[in-house]
Amino acid sequence: MHQDTPESAESAFYVAFEARDLEAMMAVWAADAAIACIHPLAAPLTGRAAVASGWRSIFNAAGQFSMRVERVHEIRMADLVIHVVHEFLSIGQEIEPRPPIQATNVYRREADGWRMLLHHAAPLQVGRTSTARAATQALH
Amino acid sequence: MHQDTPESAESAFYVAFEARDLEAMMAVWAADAAIACIHPLAAPLTGRAAVASGWRSIFNAAGQFSMRVERVHEIRMADLVIHVVHEFLSIGQEIEPRPPIQATNVYRREADGWRMLLHHAAPLQVGRTSTARAATQALH
């Protein structure tokens, strides 16, 4: 898939994720040894071998699922773009989507297109978006 | 505080955080309208006014606490640096530190020094660093 914009790179990422296609997934990522992938509640996987191994485990463990992605924020620079997205997963026969995952995705412009540098996914507790409530319930 | 390296910007961020000093905290952040701050389990606060308001709420709600920060990964480019850190908070008279918070911090080189563009903090579940276990317990 061509990744001539950050948006097409992001689209390729989620298509590969939903398809559980390891080769397509790793084509989204930069060749950079410093790439980092953080799955919810886990420590970072860094470098292509570890990142690939993480996705392999996830794809092997996962049954059929579908995913809807909503972009909630963008920081756009000439050669680097950061997206914050909410991922809504529906697994197997579940009718109700699960609580969303919030991810920060960083893409960099490379010679041959935009590639992912970092994916940091973490739980987002629904209904806890108010600053004041978040502040009083969790120091940080 | 001078922010002539990403490291000094990060240090200024955590000094301001621990000191609950809103002015010092906001001096760490870029003037960019697109800055984003994600507190654990919360949606992003974007723009300087919302980011400041979030810190004000946290600083008002928080009692005395101390924080130890450990850098676990770095992606270093000429004008942009991404750090993944683990934050260990000890609140009030608690002797045991709380479970760590994992944060992705993005700094950009500006005319007058390095400034924070994004802070994404989220829970890190201790002992869940194994890829395989994370994969089987959480799809993503």
Q: What is the pTM of this model?
A: 0.89
Mean pLDDT of chain B: 89
First to last CA, chain B: 39
Q: How close does chain B come to A52, measured CA to CA in Å?
A: 11
Distance of CA B2 to the CA centre of its chain: 18
Interchain CB distance below 8 Å, A75 and B32:
yes
Residues near B10 by beta carbon (within 8 Å), at least 6 away in sequence: B69, B71, B83, B85, B105, B107
Residues near B18 by beta carbon (within 8 Å), at least 6 away in sequence: B65, B66, B67
Interchain CB distance below 8 Å, A135 and B57:
yes
Residue A9: closest CA among A41, A45, A35, A34 = A35
Q: For residue B84, give the nearest of A36, A62, A134 by CB distance.
A: A36
Per-residue confidence at A139, pLDDT binned at 50, 70, 90?
low
For A78, list phi and psi in degrees, rounded to 5. Answer: -60, -45
Interchain CB distance below 8 Å, A122 and B123:
yes
Q: In chain A, which ranges are continuous DSSP H helix? A: 6-19, 22-28, 48-61, 131-137
Least confident of A61-65, B23-27, B52-56, B135-139: B135-139
Residues near A8 by beta carbon (within 8 Å), at least 6 away in sequence: A1, A2, A113, A114
Interchain CB distance below 8 Å, B73 and A34:
yes
Which chain A positions have a beta carbon within 8 Å of B77's beta carbon? 80, 108
Interchain CB distance below 8 Å, B75 and A117:
yes
Per-residue confidence at B63, pLDDT binned at 50, 70, 90?
confident
What is the per-residue pLDDT for A140?
59
Chain B: residue nearest A92 by CA? B139
Question: What's the CA gap between A35 and B105, in Å, rounded?
Answer: 14
H or E element in which residue B134 lies: helix B131-137
Which chain A positions have a beta carbon within 8 Å of B136's beta carbon? 57, 61
Interchain CB distance below 8 Å, B62 and A91:
no
Interchain CB distance below 8 Å, A131 and B54:
yes
Which chain B positions have a beta carbon within 8 Å of A50's beta carbon? 131
Give A50-102 pLDDT, tens digit per residue: 999 999 999 999 888 889 999 999 999 999 999 999 999 988 777 776 889 99
Chain B: residue nearest A108 by CA? B77
CB A44 within 8 A of CB A125: no
Residues near A2 by beta carbon (within 8 Å), at least 6 away in sequence: A8, A113
Question: What's the CA gap between B4 and B112, in Å, rounded?
Answer: 8
Residues near A116 by beta carbon (within 8 Å), at least 6 away in sequence: A9, A13, A28, A29, A30, A35, A105, A106, A107
Residue B64: DSSP 8-state: S
Give B27-47 pLDDT, tens digit per residue: 999 999 999 999 999 999 999
Give B68-100 pLDDT, tens digit per residue: 999 999 999 999 999 999 999 988 777 776 889
Q: For residue B41, give the nearest of A38, A46, A128 by CB distance.
A: A128
Which chain B positions have a beta carbon within 8 Å of A108's beta carbon? 77
Residue B41: closest CA among A40, A132, A104, A125 = A125
Query: Which residue in this structure is represented by tokens 């101390």?
Result: B66
Give A93-129 pLDDT, tens digit per residue: 777 768 899 999 999 999 999 999 999 999 998 554 4
Burial of residue B27, with CB atoms counted within 10 A of its CB: 0-12 exposed, 13-18 middle, 19 or more buried: middle
Per-residue confidence at B126, pLDDT binned at 50, 70, 90?
low
Name residue A107's amino acid. Answer: Y
Interchain CB distance below 8 Å, B62 and A139:
yes
H or E element in which residue B28 lies: helix B22-28
